[in-house]
Amino acid sequence: MATCKGACLLLIAVCLVFQSFQEFAECREGPMIIEELPTVQRSSFPSGFVFGSSTAAYQIEGAAREAGKGASIWDIFSHQPGKILGNKTGDIAVDHYHRYAEDIWLLKDLNMDAYRFSISWTRIFPNGVGVVNWEGVKYYDNLIDHVLELGIDPYVTLYHWDMPQALDNSIGGWLSPDIIDSFSKYARFCFERWGSKVKHWITFNEIHTFAISGYMTGVMAPGRCSAPVCVAGNSDTEPYIVAHHALLSHAHAVDIYRKEFKDTQQGMIGITTDSMWFEPLDSNSSSDKQAAQEAVEAYIGWYLDPIFYGHYPASMRRNLGSNLPTFTAEEAALVKGSQDFVGINHYTSMYATFGISGEIVKTYYKDGVPIGDPTPSDWLFVVPFGIRKLLNWVSERYHNPILYVTENGRAEFNKEDSMPIEDQLKDPERIRYYHDYMQNVLLAVRDGCDVRGYFAWSLLDNFEWSEGYTVRFGIYYVDYKNGLARLPKSSVFWFRQVLRKTFNL
């Protein structure tokens, strides 16, 4: 297959910085031939393949204290000095709450089919349970209606890390089994309110991330880990308790949807997991191959093995012993099969080997050479083949389930203080990243994986959790110094062209 690499993709980036499609077309009539990209265009993918972009409520909405919204753990955590680079918060973020109509039009302008966004639990239930905040409900009424009016399908995530602070205070949040009932009531309300319009529900985004970063390392909300790093927490046990209760909450929500809503609403429900891909540090070492296998099992198998088989991976049970909770027979039966599809968030890959004590050691480097090109995010190296290998691993292990790539993208440094804005809008490295990763998604489809869609992260530059606003993942540039204006990066023009729809007259 012909591919576009190196200078070709750089030329695309140069061409696409033009602000009109006509100028872009004139530019590409030069030495670059668009046919060099046959593997990354809408028509290369199966009929009905969905292209979209993803966001998360706390990262974009802002309006943190408006219209009756309650505080989430991120509203509190981000205000603690030293937790976020630059001591920034999501209080305003990129003001999607007030500018959603403009932003959805930007998505439409990219020729995308779907918008994946999350609902802020505390905008609906300020205290997590009890009294409904109808102003918050109306916001999501309007958002969903506007998405549908523009011919875009909403893919709605119920939980993207913003636990109500009131529930964290009162019961300990995900550490308590009581959270299952609270989440179930919240989910039922959402199904009742929007299920006639929303046909794709995602219960959780990346349990792995909020369990590990929130309860093992403490670098994300609610900031718990073992002493002396954190004031409270137990890094050896709490992440696994949190994940266990989240999985049970997911299973209960799916059960509610299937019993009470699915037949009439005719929608689908699933979960979004995340995982790096792990390569053996020494490709000829059977030990390193085992380490890489166990690393993937401990990352994504942690959640998908229970969902497909009713129990945690054998390697995790062996390695963690009593620190890993167990499912009762009734719980296992409820969790097993609790998906219509699986969302996969994937950004990067690592090497794996076993350490001296038998623990899995993960690294981005082999003989001093990185596994892929580095990016401004120290955890993200560009390894396009990893997404193909991960999709194949999931498809083989779980008997070819329906999959969506629900996040994929790369960061740039925020250079608003050191670079002219016209230069910041040129993002050839992002174009290269999207091209190569999307190409590998297509290769996975051709391998036989049942991948139904691809969602780019992210529509807009936004609040990137502990990294604050120091990095930019957006396809659209947000000018933080000039009224949060949205400006198209060169990747906008690339997506417009790649995802253009053709019609037979």
Measured distance CA(88)–CA(466) in Å, rounded:
9
CB 3 within 8 A of CB 36: yes
DSSP-derived letter for residue 301 is I
CB 183 within 8 A of CB 253: yes
Pick the catalytic residue from 61, 279, 297, 407.
407
Classified as helix, coil or strand, 413 is strand
Measured distance CA(276)–CA(381) in Å, rounded:
10
pLDDT tens, residue by residue, 28-52 = 333 333 323 337 999 999 999 999 9
CA dihedral 80, 86, 88, 93 (to 10 degrees): -160
Amino acid letter at 231? V
151: left (phi over 0), alpha (psi -120 to 50) or beta: left
pLDDT tens, residue by residue, 452-476 = 999 999 999 999 999 999 999 999 9
Residue of 342, 345, 459 lying closest to 52 (CA atoms): 459
Token couple for 440:
């590998």
Classified as helix, coil or strand, 214 is helix
Residue of 156, 137, 139, 143 lying closest to 199 (CA atoms): 156
Q: Give the CB-side neighbour count of residue 401, counting CA atoms within 13 A.
A: 23
Active site residue 407: yes
Parallel, antiparallel or unpaired: strands 277-280 and 268-274: unpaired
Enter the pTM of the model: 0.92
Domain annotation for the chain: domains and CATH numbers: 54-406 (3.20.20.80)
Confidence at residue 11, expressed as pLDDT on a 0 to 100 scale: 43
pLDDT tens, residue by residue, 124-171 = 999 999 999 999 999 999 999 999 999 999 999 999 999 999 999 999
Classified as helix, coil or strand, 43 is helix
CB 52 within 8 A of CB 150: no
